[in-house]
Structure 1
Amino acid sequence: MKETKEKVNKEQEVTEEQGAKVENENVQEEEVKEESEKSSEPTLEDQLSEAKDKYLRLYSEFENFRRRTSKEKLDLISTANKDLMADLIPVLDDFERAMTASEASEDVKALREGMELIQNKLNKSLDNRGLKKMSIKKGDAFDDEFHEAITQIPAEKKLEGKIVDVVEAGYTLGDAVVRFAKVVVGAKQ
């Protein structure tokens, strides 16, 4: 029986040793897994440096975009009126010819017709660029979004608060007012 006990004890020791080895191997495997997981996960320093790099790249891209758009705006502003000016040069030429012709001619009617032709040419050039003259008549209601009252004069009851006279025409470019129409408004007597 002693032998059986010793045998059982030896078997238990062997089993315990094997269990300890297996347990030790499991612990080592877990440590290896944790280390590999740690090495695959970026540290906070890595994440911070990556975020800084992304920030610097984005900031640089934005600065380049801002500089490029500023340069484009300046170029656009400097050449914005180029087409309009090209359209007005022939009108200036016509005025010069009319002035030269008026020195030698005494025919007022022909001079007037020439001036009307030049004015029509100028109006057409400006109209093609979107400049429109406001159509304002005596008796229209005063609207401070389009009109500028330069004075008020006593007027008939039906013209109170309405336009009595147009001193200077107003102009719009698209929907924006370029120059307000200067008008005289009727006041109560």
Structure 2
Amino acid sequence: MKEKDNLEQEEILKDAVHQEDRSTTDMESETNADSSEGSLQTDNGEEKLKAENQDLKEKYLRLYSEFENYRRRTSKERLELIKTASEDVIKELLPILDDFERAIKADEKETSDTPDEGKRLIYNKLVKTLTSKGLRPMEELVGKAFDADMHEAITQIPAPSEDLKGKIVDVVERGYLLGDKVVRYAKVVIGQ
């Protein structure tokens, strides 16, 4: 009987140890499951943060690019404005320049002596000042092809020679450029 009681006690102990092992294993598996869920949540959180970080980087790059484009455009516009700021004044001075040229030519035709030096000095000073502001006359146009972007055709006359057909025969009024922009179109006569 004693042996039977001992055997029963041993079985009870074995069952208790076995249940304890099972509950420990269950707890460990629950802990592992919890930690794997936590790592899944952590991985999910990391992915969200990485995606959000990437979106913010892209937004920053777009904004930076837009700002750079804006800065370049405004600086280009500012330079253009500075170059052509005096355009209105220069346009108003061009007829005066033309009058000076005509007066000097008239003086040369009237007298065989040297033309009035005062007129020539004032003319040269005016030309020098306008040149320093970026104004330059169009090059010699007679014999060159007509360009509607640079010239204004006043009339067409029969070409004096075959090689002048469709080309500029005479310049009535000289054209001027301010930088690369046409301030006044050259008024020309075209041969046909």
Query: Smaller-chain TM-score range?
Result: 0.5 to 0.7
Contact 2:84–2:178 (Cα < 8 Å) also in 1: no
CA distance in structure 2 between the partners assigned to 1:169 and 1:74 by the alignment: 28
Q: Which amino acid aligns with 2:184?
A: R
1:28-39 map, 5 Å: 28=31, 30-31=33-34, 34-35=37-38, 38=41
Contact 1:84–1:129 (Cα < 8 Å) also in 2: no
CA distance in structure 1 between the partners assigned to 2:174 and 2:23 by the alignment: 105
Question: Structure 1, unaligned stretches of length 5 or more?
Answer: 86-107
User: Alignment partner for residue 177 of structure 1, among 172, 177, 182?
Assistant: 182
User: Alignment partner for residue 125 of structure 2, among 112, 121, 126?
Assistant: 121
CA distance in structure 2 between the partners assigned to 1:186 and 1:171 by the alignment: 22
CA distance in structure 1 between the partners assigned to 2:158 and 2:74 by the alignment: 55
Q: 3-state SS of the aligned residue for 2:125?
A: helix
Contact 2:176–2:183 (Cα < 8 Å) also in 1: yes
Q: Which amino acid aligns with 1:119?
A: Y
Change (3 A) 1:57 1:82: same
CA distance in structure 2 between the partners assigned to 1:77 and 1:139 by the alignment: 32
Q: Does 1:149 align with 2:165?
A: no
Q: Which amino acid aligns with 1:138?
A: V
Q: 3-state SS of the aligned residue for 1:21?
A: helix
Root-mean-square deviation (Å): 5.1
Change (3 A) 1:170 1:74: closer
Q: Does 1:24 align with 2:22?
A: no
Contact 2:176–2:184 (Cα < 8 Å) also in 1: yes
Shift of 1:18: 2.1
Q: In percent, how many aligned pairs have the same letter?
A: 36
CA distance in structure 2 between the partners assigned to 1:23 and 1:155 by the alignment: 110
Q: Which amino acid aligns with 2:124?
A: N
The match for 1:95 is: none
The match for 2:100 is: none
Q: 3-state SS of the aligned residue for 1:121?
A: helix
CA distance in structure 2 between the partners assigned to 1:137 and 1:65 by the alignment: 42
Shift of 1:171: 1.3
TM-score relative to the length of structure 2 = 0.55
TM-score relative to the length of structure 1 = 0.56
CA distance in structure 1 between the partners assigned to 2:26 and 2:53 by the alignment: 40
Question: Structure 2, unaligned stretches of length 5 or more?
Answer: 89-110
Shift of 1:19: 2.4
CA distance in structure 2 between the partners assigned to 1:149 and 1:29 by the alignment: 92
User: Alignment partner for residue 137 of structure 2, among 133, 137, 146?
Assistant: 133
CA distance in structure 1 between the partners assigned to 2:66 and 2:10 by the alignment: 83
Deviates more, 1:11-20 or 1:159-168: 11-20
The match for 2:99 is: none
Q: Which amino acid aligns with 2:168?
A: I
Change (3 A) 1:120 1:61: same
Change (3 A) 1:111 1:180: same
Change (3 A) 1:156 1:83: closer
The match for 2:169 is: 164
